[in-house]
Amino acid sequence: MGVARERQAQFCARPQPACAPSAAVEHRPKAAGAPHGRPPGPPCRRPRLAHGHALPLLLLLPLLLAPPRCAGHAPSPEGRPKRPKPHAAGGPGEQTELFWTALNRAKSVVNAGDPALWTRVGAKLRAGECLDVRVLGGSVTHGGCGKGLPHVPPNQTWPAQLERLLNRRLPCTGGRRDGGTGHTVANLARSQYCTPMWINTLVGQQETFLEGADAVLVETAINDLTNQGTEGADTAICAATEVLLAMLLHRSRRVDPDPDPGCLGHDRSFTGLAVAYVGATAKQLGVPKKGKPLRAGLRLDAMRQQLPAVEWHGVPYISISAALGPFVTPESHAFLSSNFKCGDDLHPSPLGHSLVAEMLLHWLAAQHEQLARAPEWQLPPEYCTRQPTCAPRADVEQFLDRDPATFALAAAALHVVPRMSATPCEGWEVYDDVPDRVRGLIADEAGATCVLFFDPQAVAERMSLGELDIVALKSYDKSGILAVRVLAATPSDAADLEIVLPGQVGKSRCVFEEGQAEVIGELEWDLLWDTRASLPQTTRLQLPRMPLPEECLFVELQVKEAGRKANKVKVIGLTFF
């Protein structure tokens, strides 16, 4: 055994290159000064014992089976070289070279989109003008992290980092409405926001909300994923995506009643907004077995459901899960979580935000360079809007063209109607139940009832479809059943009463009396979710008849007894179409 160890020590003491398989060495050309065509440094392999040194077989086995112990090539305890691990809380841009290559950047572009959609942005960049970019998204973009974990600071979120990278890579003059500071990337993301919530936020005001913007980046794939597994979820996600795209790309008939689309066969004008979808994280819904392919029911995000609408409308889709994936084994999933996530297996760390920003910068810069080098005759024409492909046209026109009466129930000054008996709003309160989340009107006890009054004239002027959309929080934890009744009544002969209406203070003769109002619509909605998530969702109540302009309009909210330990209900908004 001593001779064998001496031979191994002599072998490893020679100057040698990195370990290489023997077969690869044998095919190398003969190196100068090396006999028999072998390179000066042999590969790492087990030494052979000299003839004549017979040792018992049991003593030889540990030596023959052991891997070589050459200096500089010691394996990690797991049998593979150790990879430096970036710190999850490290500064932006640190150590991204560990797994961010040209191949990753190329893979990130899931759909290149129609170049015509971004020609106006390209023209501004070529002229040295600054961009005004708005970002719509959820907590992934807002900088959120799991419960009890530190959130990402605002200046380290990917929109903030993208703004700095843009100004460094594609400098401009002016910006911020000519006040200076260069390109602007405004992070408008809000925790718990998915596509339906952004539709509800923009409806009737998308022109003013996005006034002055050159481009909009949308990140809703991870929150939209929550509907996965419910009946018709794929179609619903695609339809909602298309409605939001229409609100961003198509001019509303409210502001453009007689459009001149400029495209044959199209009946909508282009807003001029460049739009791109961003997949800024990925979540594994269950860890697949080692060596087994990912099952159809396990999705990383809702990109697959969003893509039909995104592709049809020529919108680019840039995805971090496509860039770094596929994550089809427990090891690859663990790698993503340890290097990219903030500790909750969902939200990106500052390093993860850096990768998203670099991914988007690469795509923007590559597109800009391509258009900058193209001759004039090769530049794409003006973008032409498309008809809907997976959303009913009536739904698109409803959210795009209507000016509904929207009431956010998150206002701290919100009050309720006077009532002849009992407290008008018992057990309900407006507050922020989770920091950095959507405020709402909240009740925790079964039987809690609240009656809201709405100015009949304001509703009558804007209601044309006889529909009420209710936005409430669906959650897997402590949720109850919400009962909604819409009631109409003639004004009371009592004296005018001082009340606070949603959005205004004034006098009204509308006093709610039980039994004196007609129910013109009602529903019950179970807000308990079997999906492990808490997100605002929208349900629709079609009224059998329209309220008359002279009638008082009430909405009664009540928490129904569900036989559960907790019955929490959170109502966020009401919209009359």
- 111 has a pLDDT exceeding 70: yes
Residues 264 and 188 in one domain: yes
Tell me, what's the pLDDT at 312? 96
Asked which of 381, 400, 419 is the last residue of a domain, the reply is 400
Residues 381 and 249 in one domain: yes
Higher pLDDT, 428 or 68: 428
Tell me, what's the pLDDT at 86? 38
Per-residue confidence band for 92, with pLDDT thresholds at 50, 70 and 90: very low
Higher pLDDT, 546 or 39: 546
Query: Could you tell me what percent of the chain has a pLDDT over 90?
Result: 27
Mean pLDDT of 528-547: 84
At residue 369, what is the residue type?
E
Residue 94 lies in a domain: no
DSSP 371-408: HHHS-GGGS---------SSS-HHHHHHHHH---EEEE
Residue 96 lies in a domain: no
Determine the structural domain holding residue 459 and report its residue range. Answer: 404-576
Residues 247 and 312 in one domain: yes
Tell me, what's the pLDDT at 230? 63
Q: Virtual CA dihedral for 107, 111, 115, 119, nearest 10 degrees? A: -80
Cβ contacts of 365 within 8 Å, gap of 6 or more = 169, 170
Asked which of 347, 372, 400 is the last residue of a domain, the reply is 400
Token pair in block for residue 296: 């159809």
Highest mean pLDDT among 220-229, 282-291, 376-385, 417-426: 376-385
Instruction: Encode pLDDT of 343-398 as tens digits.
Output: 887 888 898 899 899 999 999 998 888 888 878 777 778 888 999 999 999 999 98
Mean pLDDT of 80-93: 39
- 500 has a pLDDT exceeding 50: no
- 110 has a pLDDT exceeding 50: yes
Tell me, what's the pLDDT at 52? 42
Tell me, what's the pLDDT at 173? 84
Residues 429 and 529 in one domain: yes
Asked which of 351, 378, 400 is the last residue of a domain, the reply is 400
Lowest mean pLDDT among 44-58, 187-201, 281-295: 44-58
Residue 95 lies in a domain: no
Per-residue confidence band for 440, with pLDDT thresholds at 50, 70 and 90: confident
Residues 327 and 261 in one domain: yes
Query: If residue 521 lies in a helix (H) or strand (E), which one and from where to where?
Result: strand 518-526
Instruction: Encode pLDDT of 261-284 as tens digits.
Output: 667 667 788 999 999 999 988 665
Reported pTM: 0.75
Mean pLDDT of 113-122: 91
- 473 has a pLDDT exceeding 70: yes
CB 525 within 8 A of CB 471: no
Residue 97 lies in a domain: no
Higher pLDDT, 291 or 239: 239
Tell me, what's the pLDDT at 136? 97
**Residue 188's closest CA among 120, 153, 263, 138?**
138
Residues 417 and 381 in one domain: no
Residue 454 lies in a domain: yes
Per-residue confidence band for 105, with pLDDT thresholds at 50, 70 and 90: confident
Cβ contacts of 133 within 8 Å, gap of 6 or more = 159, 162, 163, 183, 184, 185, 186, 213, 214, 215, 216, 217
- 332 has a pLDDT exceeding 90: no
Highest mean pLDDT among 51-60, 76-85, 238-247: 238-247
Mean pLDDT of 284-295: 48
Residues 13 and 35 in one domain: yes
Tell me, what's the pLDDT at 320? 86
Instruction: Encode pLDDT of 19-69 as tens digits.
Output: 433 333 333 344 444 444 444 444 444 444 444 444 344 333 444 444 444
Mean pLDDT of 526-541: 83
Residues 112 and 250 in one domain: yes
Question: Domain holding 393: CATH number?
Answer: 3.40.50.1110
Residues 348 and 420 in one domain: no
Residues 330 and 315 in one domain: yes
Residue 88 lies in a domain: no
Residue 467 DSSP SS3: strand
Tell me, what's the pLDDT at 262? 67
Mean pLDDT of 148-159: 90
**Residue 436's closest CA among 48, 100, 126, 150?**
150
Query: Could you tell me what percent of the chain has a pLDDT over 70?
Result: 67
Residues 141 and 233 in one domain: yes
Higher pLDDT, 106 or 82: 106
Residue 293 lies in a domain: no
Burial 136-158 (b: 16+ CB within 10 A, else e): bbbbbbbbbbeeeeebbeeebbb
Residue 90 lies in a domain: no
Token pair in block for residue 78: 């797991």
Mean pLDDT of 108-125: 91
Per-residue confidence band for 177, with pLDDT thresholds at 50, 70 and 90: low
User: d(Cα 539, Cα 324) in Å, to the nearest integer?
Assistant: 36
> How many structural domains comprise the chain?
3
Residues 316 and 426 in one domain: no
**Residue 43's closest CA among 70, 66, 80, 65?**
70
Tell me, what's the pLDDT at 244? 96
- 459 has a pLDDT exceeding 50: yes
